[in-house]
């Protein structure tokens, strides 16, 4: 039972909106939007504002098609391009939630999904994912680093979060529209705060959007929206260009249609390979005609701010275990026998966790302290300098393992002082899971109890594992 770092990278296509790194490097001095000219009282005007009315129920469909290639790193200085095709189809009902402030905090909505499915083909491998029917009710809201999604029914998986991270989400598009009455030939610059919402970049170093009304009828207004941005997604440098057309129903006051093209060039990062892709997004919204799935009672259950429990991510581990973790952990690689998670904080890789199956033992027994220490020393080899401590694990009440070990070791890896935290968790049935956390020693002050916290949320199942890998 040894642990070794794998160099294989997950070759499933990551969504165009990966989770967080960096802080926004410049402030939005222009607010919601910057008009290029003041309104002329002699010109006819139109209002392109979708008021957050909770009594308005809309049916929404979204289609995403992606073509391009993944740039998979091989070794230190070489990448292998792999063809990529991806598609997603999402259908939901939506009601707006009350604003929690200005700018991104004004964008909040409650959604009930009828379906959400995706298919990704990388080279000759196809992966499909879908939103579980037990997690249909989703809150989507703006944050400084993009849109955030969570379910009222319980934790989402990483694949479900990626599926919900639709590029050019209609909630983000609403944020780019100008306030008040504007002339029929109006042109404007949306506030800089909209760039992470629109482009999928977690942080934007530079960029801009431009909007322009091109046609107004008695009921609708056609808008062109285009721009570009440079920044970071998932800890990797990325450049995005954006162009699209919107149809706004100004008579009834809501965004009706959108057709968007997004092109992204992303370097390989700590949690995903590089990307060269073009994404086409088509969105249709209309007043709901099907049975309402979002009633007033459901609206009243929405918190103004999500709790840490709302934002937990569910991972099915090797051996069919169950692990809850926060959103700074990302699955880097997964097979039926090993899961590799990497932790990003402010865009920097701060730790890696390898979780793998360990040999079963007789029911009611466990692996001895001496045997586990031998495994740890063998795994670390010449990198090991000192075994700092060995302690028995104490599971919390109701947790589905009863015994195990935690070993702390120090050493040098590629010239860096390191701390390793090894865990062996044993279920009464004899099934075992092993975890090892690798952390640079100079990060221990901020590391605190993160390894203990994640292990405290691990459950080992007695059911036979599935064979699906990622």
pLDDT tens by residue, 230-261: 999 999 999 999 999 999 999 999 999 999 99
Residues 64-80, mean pLDDT to the nearest whole number:
89
Taking the C-alpha atoms of 14, 17, 19 and 22 in order, what is their torsion angle to the nearest 10 degrees? 120
Residue 209 binned pLDDT confidence (cut-offs 50, 70, 90): very high
**pLDDT for position 462:** 74
pLDDT of 7 > 80? The answer is no
How many CB atoms within 10 Å of residue 400?
17
Q: For residue range 89-117, list pLDDT tens digits in order.
A: 999 999 999 999 899 999 999 999 999 99
Residues 417-440, mean pLDDT to the nearest whole number:
95
**pLDDT for position 54:** 87
**pLDDT for position 9:** 38
Which residue from 77, 391, 42 is spatially nearest to 183, judged by alpha carbons?
42
What's the pTM value of the predicted model, to 2 decimals?
Answer: 0.88
Lowest average pLDDT, out of 116-120, 203-207, 462-466, goes to 462-466
pLDDT of 13 > 90? The answer is no
CA distance 318 to 338: 6
Q: Which residues contact 232 (CB under 8 A, 6 or more apart)?
A: 21, 22, 201, 202, 203, 205, 238, 347
Residues 198-226, mean pLDDT to the nearest whole number:
96
Q: From its phi and psi, is residue 357 left (phi > 0), alpha (psi between -120 and 50) or beta?
A: beta
**Across the strands, what pairs with 147?**
142
Q: For residue range 297-332, list pLDDT tens digits in order.
A: 888 889 999 999 999 999 999 988 899 999 999 999
Lowest average pLDDT, out of 273-282, 349-358, 402-411, 456-465, goes to 456-465
Q: Which residues contact 24 (CB under 8 A, 6 or more apart)?
A: 144, 145, 196, 203, 204
Q: Which long-range contacts (CB under 8 A, 24 or more apart) does 76-82 make?
A: 79/268, 79/273, 79/274, 81/276, 82/11, 82/122, 82/123
Which residue from 18, 13, 265, 15 is spatially nearest to 121, judged by alpha carbons?
13
Asked whether 47 and 250 are in contact (CB, 8 A), the reply is: yes
Residue 464 binned pLDDT confidence (cut-offs 50, 70, 90): low
Asked whether 321 and 459 are in contact (CB, 8 A), the reply is: yes
- Per-residue b/e over 72-111, b at no fewer than 16 CB within 10 Å? bbeeeeebeebebbbebebbbbbbbbeeeeebbebbbbbb
**pLDDT for position 297:** 84
Helix (H, G, I), strand (E, B) or coil at 57: coil
pLDDT of 10 > 50? The answer is no
Candidate CATH numbers 3.30.70, 2.30.30, 2.60.120, 2.30.230; the one for domain 33-300: 2.30.230
Looking at per-residue confidence, does 273 or 401 come out higher?
273
Domain positions in the chain are 33-300, 313-459
How many Cα atoms occupy the beta-carbon half-sphere of 456 within 13 Å? 9
Distance from the Cα of residue 177 to its chain's centroid? 25
Q: For residue range 329-382, list pLDDT tens digits in order.
A: 999 999 999 999 999 998 899 999 999 999 999 998 999 999 999 999 999 999
CA distance 216 to 183: 10
How many CB atoms within 10 Å of residue 45?
15
**pLDDT for position 6:** 38
What is the CATH number assigned to the segment(s) 313-459? Answer: 3.40.1000.10
Asked whether 440 and 465 are in contact (CB, 8 A), the reply is: no
Q: For residue range 392-403, list pLDDT tens digits in order.
A: 987 766 666 668
Share of the chain above pLDDT 90, in %: 77
Burial class (CB in 10 A: 0-12, 13-18, 19+), 38: exposed
CA distance 34 to 28: 11
What is the average pLDDT score of the chain? 89
pLDDT of 3 > 60? The answer is no
């Amino acid at each position: 039972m040894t642990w070794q770092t794998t160099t294989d990278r997950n070759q499933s296509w990551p969504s165009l909106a990966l989770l967080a790194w960096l802080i926004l490097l410049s402030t939005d001095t222009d607010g919601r939007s910057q008009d290029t000219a003041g309104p002329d009282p002699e010109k006819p005007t139109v209002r392109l504002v979708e008021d957050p009315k909770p009594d308005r129920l809309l049916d929404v469909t979204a289609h995403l098609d992606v073509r391009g290639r993944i740039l998979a790193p091989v070794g230190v200085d070489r990448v292998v391009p792999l063809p990529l095709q991806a598609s997603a189809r999402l259908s939901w009902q939506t009601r707006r939630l009350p604003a929690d402030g200005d700018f991104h905090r004004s964008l909040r909505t409650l959604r009930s999904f009828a379906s959400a499915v995706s298919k990704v083909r990388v080279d000759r491998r196809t992966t499909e994912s879908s939103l579980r029917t037990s997690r249909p009710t989703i809150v989507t809201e703006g944050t400084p680093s993009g849109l955030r999604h969570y379910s009222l029914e319980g934790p989402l998986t990483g694949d479900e979060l990626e599926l919900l991270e639709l590029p050019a989400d209609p909630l983000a598009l609403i944020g780019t529209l100008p306030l008040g009455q504007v002339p029929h030939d109006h042109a404007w610059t949306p506030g800089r705060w909209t760039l992470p919402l629109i482009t999928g970049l977690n942080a934007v170093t530079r960029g801009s959007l431009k909007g322009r009304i091109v046609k107004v009828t008695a009921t609708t207004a056609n808008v062109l929206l285009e721009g570009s941005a440079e920044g970071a997604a998932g800890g990797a440098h990325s450049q995005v260009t954006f162009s699209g057309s919107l149809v706004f129903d100004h008579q009834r006051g809501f965004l009706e249609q959108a057709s968007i093209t997004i092109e992204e060039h992303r370097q390989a990062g700590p949690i995903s390979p590089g990307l060269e892709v073009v994404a086409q997004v088509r969105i249709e919204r209309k007043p709901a005609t099907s049975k309402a799935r979002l009633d007033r009672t459901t609206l009243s259950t929405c918190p103004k701010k999500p709790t840490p429990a709302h934002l937990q991510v569910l991972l099915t581990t090797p051996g069919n275990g169950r692990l809850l973790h926060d959103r700074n952990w990302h699955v880097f690689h997964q097979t039926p026998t090993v899961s590799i998670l990497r932790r990003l904080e402010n865009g920097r890789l701060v730790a890696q966790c390898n979780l793998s199956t360990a040999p079963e033992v007789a029911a009611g027994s466990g692996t001895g302290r001496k045997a586990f220490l031998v495994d740890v020393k063998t795994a670390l080899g010449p990198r090991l300098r000192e075994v700092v401590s060995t302690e028995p694990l104490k599971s919390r009440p109701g947790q589905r393992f009863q015994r195990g070990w935690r070993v702390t070791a120090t050493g040098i890896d590629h010239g860096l002082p390191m701390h390793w935290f090894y865990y062996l968790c044993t279920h009464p049935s004899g099934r075992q899971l092993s975890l090892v956390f690798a952390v640079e020693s100079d990060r221990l002050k901020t590391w605190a109890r993160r390894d203990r916290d994640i292990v405290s949320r691990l459950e080992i199942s007695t059911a036979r594992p599935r064979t699906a890998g990622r």
